[in-house]
């Protein structure tokens, strides 16, 4: 007698996706294992290479309230003898210990693999293992994809034995884009530069801050950066704001029509505790209204200061970016 089981939405959709992949003529399947890792439905698959990009404080209610506890959950995706490409330059003991127990070959950022951006910030150089030997790739194009993520992906590519000529790699990287991740666009109405990033935890905001500082160093005319932000209620709003406080000049906070969204007054309460932010804060009922006000204020700034430029960043969640993306257009 067969037992009947009820599948969750995620379990059913995972099985459906795997069935489609199995019956399709594809060369590579790249699977993202979701929340935590260990207990995610996608973790039923044994991969040929494992990638952990980085570990940050997020979803603490589910994963634990320390990086090591979160790392232990992430380490649940490791498999015996299967290489791990790991992006944290200071790897967590919980991951290293699990890797040791499973005899996992390690490729860690800053150790077996590395990358650096050129002085002109126009390209980057990659170092890692290819065909079993240490090698380098030079003058790789910079895109709106984080260099660290590209660096990890290149190492995974070579570990899979998928050989591509260097010129094809450069061509492919030059065509890369990821909507909503460091996506540079222009506002339709004002033509103000807009950067969309779904960053929703302190670690992602720190990466965004690094990119913004690089933009300002490369373009001294960039004198004003405004942030439009709405976040979910379970996020570390204080940590997110602290990561951006030295790069953002003005804040427009709002909320989206999503039950999990943090009320704008609560967001304001947190941000007003920060002396670097509290005097430069505007509240709006909706992300669209906040975005519209930020773009118009930036246009007025540029009109009043010829030769100076501004940038509006939209951050905090996928919902935040989705609410305004259609109000902007592709650059060029």
Domains of the chain as residue ranges with CATH: 9-174 (3.40.1190.10), 183-330 (3.90.190.20)
Does 105 or 204 have the greater pLDDT score? 105
Reported pTM:
0.75
Q: Write down the pLDDT at residue 2.
A: 53
Q: Write down the pLDDT at residue 332.
A: 62
For residue 274, pLDDT over 80 is answered with yes
Q: Write down the pLDDT at residue 251.
A: 95
Mapped to the 3 state alphabet, what secondary structure does the chain carry? CCCCCCCCHHHHHHHHHHHHHHCCCCCCCCCCCCCCCCCCHHHHCCCCCEEECCCCCCCHHHHCCCHHHHHHHHHHHCCCCCCEEECCCCCCHHHHHHHHHCCCCEEEECCCEEEEECCCCCEEEEEEEECCEEEEEEEEECCCCCHHHHHHHHHHHHHCCCCCCHHHHHHHHHCCCCCCCCEEEEECCCCCEEEECCCCCHHHHHHHHHHHHHHHHHCCCEEEEEEEECCECCCCHHHHHHHHCCCCCEEEECCCCCCCECCHHHHHHHHCCCCCCCCCEEECCCHHHHHHHHHHHHHHHHHHCCCCEEEEEEECCHHHHHHHHHHEEECC
The mean predicted confidence, pLDDT, of the chain is 90
For residue 1, pLDDT over 50 is answered with no
Q: Write down the pLDDT at residue 130.
A: 93
Q: Write down the pLDDT at residue 34.
A: 76
Q: Which of 6-10, 40-44, 220-224, 241-245 reaches the highest mean pLDDT? A: 220-224
Would you place residue 60 in the very low, low, confident or very high pLDDT band (cuts 50, 70, 90)? low
Q: Write down the pLDDT at residue 58.
A: 61
Q: Write down the pLDDT at residue 4.
A: 65
pLDDT tens for 128-181 read 999 889 999 999 988 878 889 999 999 999 999 988 899 999 999 988 888 888
Q: Write down the pLDDT at residue 59.
A: 58
pLDDT tens for 190-225 read 999 999 999 988 888 988 998 899 889 889 999 999
Does 7 or 18 have the greater pLDDT score? 18
pLDDT tens for 113-137 read 999 987 776 789 999 999 889 999 9
| 12-16, 19-23, 210-214, 282-286, range with the lowest pLDDT | 210-214
Q: Write down the pLDDT at residue 87.
A: 93
- Report d(CA 67, CA 92) in Å as an integer: 8
């Amino acid at each position: 007698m067969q037992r009947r089981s009820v599948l969750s939405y995620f379990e059913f959709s995972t099985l459906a996706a795997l069935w489609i992949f199995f019956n399709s003529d594809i060369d590579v399947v790249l699977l993202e294992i979701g929340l935590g890792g260990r207990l995610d439905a996608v973790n039923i698959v044994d991969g040929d290479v494992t990638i952990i990009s980085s570990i940050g404080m997020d979803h603490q209610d589910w994963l634990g309230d320390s990086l090591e506890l979160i790392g232990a959950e992430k380490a649940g995706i490791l498999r015996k003898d299967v290489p791990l490409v790991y992006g944290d330059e200071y790897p967590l003991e919980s991951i290293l210990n699990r890797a040791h127990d499973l005899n996992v070959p390690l490729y860690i950022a800053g150790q077996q693999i590395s990358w650096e951006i050129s002085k002109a910030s126009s390209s980057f150089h990659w170092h890692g293992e290819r065909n079993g030997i240490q090698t380098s790739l030079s003058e790789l194009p910079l895109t709106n994809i984080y260099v660290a993520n590209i660096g990890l992906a290149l190492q995974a590519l070579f570990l899979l034995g998928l050989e591509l000529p260097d010129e094809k790699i450069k061509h492919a990287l030059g065509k890369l884009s990821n909507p909503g991740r460091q996506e540079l666009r222009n506002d339709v109405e004002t033509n103000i530069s807009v950067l969309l990033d779904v960053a929703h935890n302190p670690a992602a905001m720190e990466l965004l801050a690094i990119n913004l500082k690089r933009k300002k160093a490369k373009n001294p005319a960039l004198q004003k950066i405004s942030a439009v932000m709405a976040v979910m209620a379970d996020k570390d709003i204080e940590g997110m704001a602290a990561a951006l406080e030295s790069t953002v000049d003005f804040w427009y906070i709002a909320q989206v029509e999503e039950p999990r969204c943090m009320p704008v007054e609560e967001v304001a309460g947190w941000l007003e505790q920060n002396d670097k932010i509290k005097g430069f804060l505007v509240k709006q009922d909706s992300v669209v209204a906040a975005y519209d006000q930020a773009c118009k204020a930036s246009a007025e700034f540029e009109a009043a200061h010829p030769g100076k430029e501004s940038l509006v960043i939209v951050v905090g969640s996928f919902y935040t970016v989705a609410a305004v993306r259609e109000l902007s257009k592709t650059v060029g």
